[in-house]
Structure 1
Amino acid sequence: MSGALTFIEPTEEHARLLLDWRTRPDIAGQMLSVVAYDVERQKAWLRRSKERDDYVHRILCVDGEPAGHVSITVTEPEWRIATIGVLMGERAGRMGAAPLNFAYMLNHVFFTLGLRKVVNHILGTNSPRLLKGQPMIGYRPVGVLKRQVVKDGQEIDLHIFEMLAEDWLAVRDRFRIYQDMDGREWR
């Protein structure tokens, strides 16, 4: 096992796998959206996603095996701003090189898509390591919206982080990953 990362485009054949991940309690609890367990609805979502020009997503594979789902959503096309999402469905997605998935994603955002900024919203119930790690990646903490999200009757803080393209350029050499999610090299 080398821990090699690759990214593949999801197809309808991945519907059940993605749905199993997205509805698993430990993952669903960290998501802003709620997903019903409906395979046909998941397949329809995959078909619609393929047609969108403001959404890019891939299945993250570790040594060729699906381990997670990553996405880029262009939230403000005119301003060239996106948000990214990461869901690790398998343990392999949280080990070794897999946590470096952000480098491929940020190369995709800033080089492939030519965007200028990423703004991410992270629930306060996520791992403290995840929240503390954002500045090490190059994100600037914007602030915390106290008790912003209500899930299952629980009020949850929402942490906001941002990164400009030049912020990523300033730190990306320390990660030594120059490919995007499709394997294109950006030096």
Structure 2
Amino acid sequence: MKWMQIKEEHLQLILDWRTSGVVTRYMYTDIPYSMGNQWKWLDGIRKDKNGYYWVISYREELIGFISITAIDWKNKRGFWNFYIGNMKYAMLAGFLGPYMYNYAFIELGLEKLMGEVMDSNEGVLKLHLKQGAQVVGKMEHHILKNGQWHDVYLFEMTKERWEEVGQKYKKYVAEVIL
């Protein structure tokens, strides 16, 4: 699995993924289908000193998006996010946690990664728990999406906990191309 820095040639594909119903139903926001906004977004992430953003490649095919955002370098923590846009590879979502934890804790030296999952995304929440993350909070009626309120679960993984529960995932090391 490769993670590649986002470039201009990825913008159309990311926009198509991000505005597809299969992806956007689990996102907080619905974005307009606009290449102009994509160019602004790319400019913003290129300037972001507290985030990393990649497209995911598997077997030479682009399959999704993954990021670490809101990194607090002093306290060595950040949030991670992902989605699979190519549904042919949806099952690979289950492997992204170990790849991310290994990268964040070993390569970046972070001490904690956090994430948020809407209540409607039960599969992803179960996945995080299965890999050892802990739910540390529930924000009730946090997101209004399509006229319906959703709770959001906050989960976290510490480096120390990953060293205990992540032993079986040591081989999951992404090739990160910056």
State the alpha-carbon separation in 2 of the partners of residues 57 and 93 from structure 1. 19
Which among 119, 125, 129 is matched to residue 131 of structure 1? 125
Tell me by how many angstroms 1:92 deviates: 3.4
Could you tell me which residue of structure 2 aligns to residue 173 of structure 1? Answer: 167
SS of 1:177's partner is coil
State the alpha-carbon separation in 2 of the partners of residues 63 and 79 from structure 1. 36
Structure 2 residue 108 is the aligned partner of structure 1 residue 113 = yes
| Correspondence 1:52-131 to 2 at 5 A | 52-95=48-91, 97=92, 99-126=94-121, 128-131=122-125
**Which consecutive residues of structure 2, in runs of 5 or more, have no partner in the other structure?**
none
Cα-to-partner distance string for 1:138-179 (whole Å, 9 max, x where unaligned): 201113222221112210010111111111111222123252
| Correspondence 1:129-168 to 2 at 5 A | 129-168=123-162
Cα-to-partner distance string for 1:14-73 (whole Å, 9 max, x where unaligned): 111000111112211211233221112202211321222211011111211000000101
Q: Which TM-score applies when normalising by structure 2?
A: 0.90
What percent of counterpart residues are identical?
A: 27
Structure 2 residue 39 is the aligned partner of structure 1 residue 43 = yes
State the alpha-carbon separation in 1 of the partners of residues 34 and 17 from structure 2. 13
**Which consecutive residues of structure 1, in runs of 5 or more, have no partner in the other structure?**
none
RMSD of aligned Cα (Å): 1.8
SS of 1:100's partner is helix
Once superposed, which parts of structure 1, at least 4 consecutive aligned residues long, lie more than 6 Å away? none
Tell me by how many angstroms 1:13 deviates: 0.8
State the alpha-carbon separation in 1 of the partners of residues 169 and 83 from structure 2. 21
